[in-house]
Amino acid sequence: MVENRPFLTFLTHMVLIVGVVVVVFPVYLAFIASTHGSGDFLSGVPPLLPGPHLIDNYYKMLTTGLSSAGAPPVWMMMMNSLVMALTIAVGKIAISIISAYAIVYFKFPFRLLAFWAIFLTLMLPVEVRIIPTFKVVADLGMLNSYAGLAIPLIASATATFLFRQFFLTVPDELMEAARVDGAGPIKFFRDILLPLSRTNIAALFVILFIYGWVQYLWPLLVTTDPKYYTIVMGIKRLAAVADSDPLWNLVMAAVILAMLPPVLVVIFMQRLFVKGLVETEK
Amino acid sequence: MQTKRTIFPNKLLPYLLLTPQLAITIIFFLWPAGQALKSSFEREDPFGFKTTFVWFHNYARLFSDPEYLNSVWRTAIFAVSVTAISMSVSLLLAVAVNRLLRSGKFYTTLLVWPYAVAPVVAGILWWFMFNPTIGILPYLLDQFGINWNHRINGSQAMILVVIAAAWKQISYNFLFFVAGLQSVPQSLTEAAAIDGAGPFKRFWTIVFPLLSPTTFFLMIVNINYAMFDTFGTIDATTQGGPAGATNTLVYKVYADGFLGLNIGSSSAQSVMLMLIVIALTVIQFRWVERRVQY
């Protein structure tokens, strides 16, 4: 701070408090709704204070779900989301770190071509190639499977670039010393490069886990069997029912459960999260 | 392109290391994109037996289709509004946090978590708040004599999706603005303060211009977000309606191709979207190069 201006400091706090309220209020309202009985929404004025049905609602959603919506119990959808998010995060990191290693530590024909092919994936999000990608996955028999949910999403240009950037900053002397001591490429990668990349891997993992968890369009395309619904896509089905049936309390319980895991990751791993976010965009 | 001064001599190993990434890239990215490009020049008969090469017929039809032009216009309004609202709110919050010493971290934690909220969930949260029968906002607006029903009023539907999409993006912009503000040299603001410039003048003449690389970068990222990542927000709230008022380009591709099964038109739309992403990516990377010199 350059100088002391009490009024401006007061204004600063006011701005931030209003900002926090705007950011938090929709979630607060959803949480409050999830603690009420379904009858409390008939009066036309939504409740603003917690009700007594917190445990009932969450227990019901987690164990049985809303059968009228054709969606499985929430815990099952959350497990599917977890499997999908973890596979995507681990898969992206694994294949990107080895491709970055190949690009930085080896010289071979078509190296540049490989680099540009990976770069192109940045320009082809699922949204612009919906039908043909769906066809490929269908032809490979991967609809309604965990492989179909995760594998088509694990190519990653950003992760490859991040590792490439990081490998370029690793001192050349480390590799020369390793070679003098007789270490081959696999040993050097496993014993030296991998331990050095630990923080980068952790930061990237946080970002990619969130990326995997919030996927919506892809699971919507490749799953028709409720056994493979993820929570983020399942919620839409629940909400569609709520519009005709006043089951807002149950739908909002599912909404809170759907956002809880990634939000907790952001809050408790804030440093890694910020690092990952800022570095993947470079 | 850069490698290490010394490299490993293996011939086969690098290809093996690249295989998984390249296999997925080719099978699930390049091949489908090629297919989209190919079928955008073809017309399939109604039974799917025969395809004929029709040159730019699909594109010509697309650009004479008032629904598509409407969708282009709606997408532009949507993307510009989301970007403007989300960025100005985040800049205000970032400047505020940057003024504080200790409590800044506390506010930051409370502001960053919506990054992890899925766009579809953000849509449902605001859809609940704006629900015409039980939502709190229509109830409050009613006190001012405003009748809220986004199911029949196109502009209200647009406002709903813009707010939901902008809300989710605040945390992202906020983090980048905070990072940008921290790299503005303190000595410059101090010098200006000694010369008698007040806090507002200092912000507009020193901090804001120095922040322009961050602002520009965020503009591109936000437009990209509003165009491509808000599919869930729209699908959960308005489904492109009422009467196409919130039918963005991405939502239209999905509705025409996946639900309407109109492959030719949908492929032509996909190709148009690819051109937009390519343009945005090129601009973004150009900017990265400039920032290095900066």
pLDDT beyond 80 at A100: yes
- Give me the count of residues in chain B: 294
Closest CA to B72 of B221, B214, B275, B293: B275
Domain ranges of chain B: 57-293
B270/A23 touch (CB, cutoff 8 Å), yes or no: no
Partner-chain residue, chosen from B14, B113, B257, that has the shortest CB–CB distance to A102: B14
State the pLDDT at residue B48: 65
- Dump pLDDT digits (tens) for A153-192: 888 888 998 899 899 888 988 888 888 898 888 999 999 9
Find out whether B20 and A95 touch, Cβ atoms under 8 Å.
yes
Q: Which fold has domain A72-243+256-280?
A: MetI-like fold (1.10.3720)
Rounded Cα gap, residues A122 and A87, in angstroms = 20
DSSP string, B102-122: SHHHHHHHHHHGGGGS-HHHH
Rounded Cα gap, residues A189 and B219, in angstroms = 38
Chain Cα centroid distance, residue A95: 18
Q: Between the ranges A242-246, A278-282, B141-145, B214-218, where is the mean pLDDT highest?
A: B214-218
User: For each successive 10 residues of chain B (294 residues), what is the average pLDDT?
Assistant: 76 90 91 86 71 79 86 92 95 91 85 90 90 82 82 88 94 92 87 86 88 88 90 87 85 83 81 88 72 42
User: Exposed, middle or buried, A181 (CB in 10 Å: 0-12/13-18/19+)?
Assistant: exposed
User: What is the average pLDDT across A254-270?
Assistant: 90
The CATH number of B57-293 is which of 3.40.1260.10, 2.60.40.10, 3.30.750.24, 1.10.3720.10?
Answer: 1.10.3720.10
A19 in contact with chain B, both atoms CB, cutoff 8 A = yes
Chain Cα centroid distance, residue A100: 22
B116/A214 touch (CB, cutoff 8 Å), yes or no: yes
Q: Which chain B residue has the Cα nearest residue A5?
A: B199
Find out whether B284 and B217 touch, Cβ atoms under 8 Å.
yes
Q: Which amino acid is at B232?
A: G
Closest CA to A219 of A91, A90, A88: A88
| Coil vs helix vs strand at A84 | helix
Residue B52's H or E segment, with its range, is strand B51-53
State the pLDDT at residue B281: 85
Q: What residues 119-178 of chain A have any CB closer than 8 A to a CB of chain B?
A: 120-125, 127-137, 151-152, 154-156, 160, 168, 172, 175-176
Give contacts of A3 with chain B, Cβ < 8 Å.
193
Evaluate the omega torsion of the peptide bond into residue B242 and state whether it is cis, within 30 degrees of 0. Answer: yes
User: How many contacts does A have with B, using Cβ atoms within 8 A?
Assistant: 307
Please give the share of chain A, as a percent, with pLDDT higher than 70: 94
The residues, ordered by sequence, that sit 6+ positions from B73 with a Cβ below 8 Å of its Cβ are none
User: Exposed, middle or buried, A148 (CB in 10 Å: 0-12/13-18/19+)?
Assistant: buried
Up-side HSE of residue B61: CA atoms within 13 Å toward CB? 16
Give contacts of A251 with chain B, Cβ < 8 Å.
124
DSSP classification of residue A227:
G
A267 in contact with chain B, both atoms CB, cutoff 8 A = yes
Domain ranges of chain A: 72-243+256-280
Q: Which amino acid is at B240?
A: G
Give CA separation, B200 vs A204, B189, B210, in Å.
Answer: 38, 11, 15
Rounded Cα gap, residues A184 and A240, in angstroms = 58
ipTM of the complex: 0.88
CA torsion sign for B122, A212, A89, A104 is negative
Q: What residues 37-96 of chain A have any CB closer than 8 A to a CB of chain B?
A: 41, 44-46, 48, 94-96
State the pLDDT at residue B160: 92
Closest CA to B255 of B267, B233, B240: B240
Q: In which band, very low, low, confident or very high, does the pLDDT at A36 lie, cut at 50, 70 and 90? A: confident
Rounded Cα gap, residues B182 and B189, in angstroms = 12
- Average pLDDT, rounded, for chain A: 86
Question: Which residues on adjacent β-strands are paired with residue B53?
Answer: B42
State the pLDDT at residue A65: 73
Q: List the structure tokens of A106.
A: 């080896």
| Coil vs helix vs strand at B43 | strand
State the pLDDT at residue A67: 66
Q: List the structure tokens of B165.
A: 């999409």
Q: List the structure tokens of B222.
A: 């936000």
Nearest-Cα distance to chain A for B104, in Å, is: 9
Q: List the structure tokens of A205.
A: 């993992």
Beta strands B42-44 and B51-53, pairing class: antiparallel
The torsion defined by the Cα of B265, B266, B270 and B276, in degrees rounded to 10, comes to: 60
Backbone phi, psi, residue A5, to 5°? -130, 100
B228/A155 touch (CB, cutoff 8 Å), yes or no: no
Sole residue written with tokens 């699930």: B28
Residue B33's H or E segment, with its range, is helix B31-39
Sole residue written with tokens 């101090």: B190
State the pLDDT at residue B46: 63
Closest CA to B275 of B251, B255, B245, B249: B249
B277/A125 touch (CB, cutoff 8 Å), yes or no: yes
State the pLDDT at residue B293: 38
User: What is the average pLDDT across A200-225?
Assistant: 90
Find out whether A158 and A125 touch, Cβ atoms under 8 Å.
no
State the pLDDT at residue B120: 92
State the pLDDT at residue B212: 86
How many CB atoms neighbour CB B275 within 10 A? 12
Give CA separation, A178 vs A200, B11, B139, in Å.
Answer: 22, 19, 70
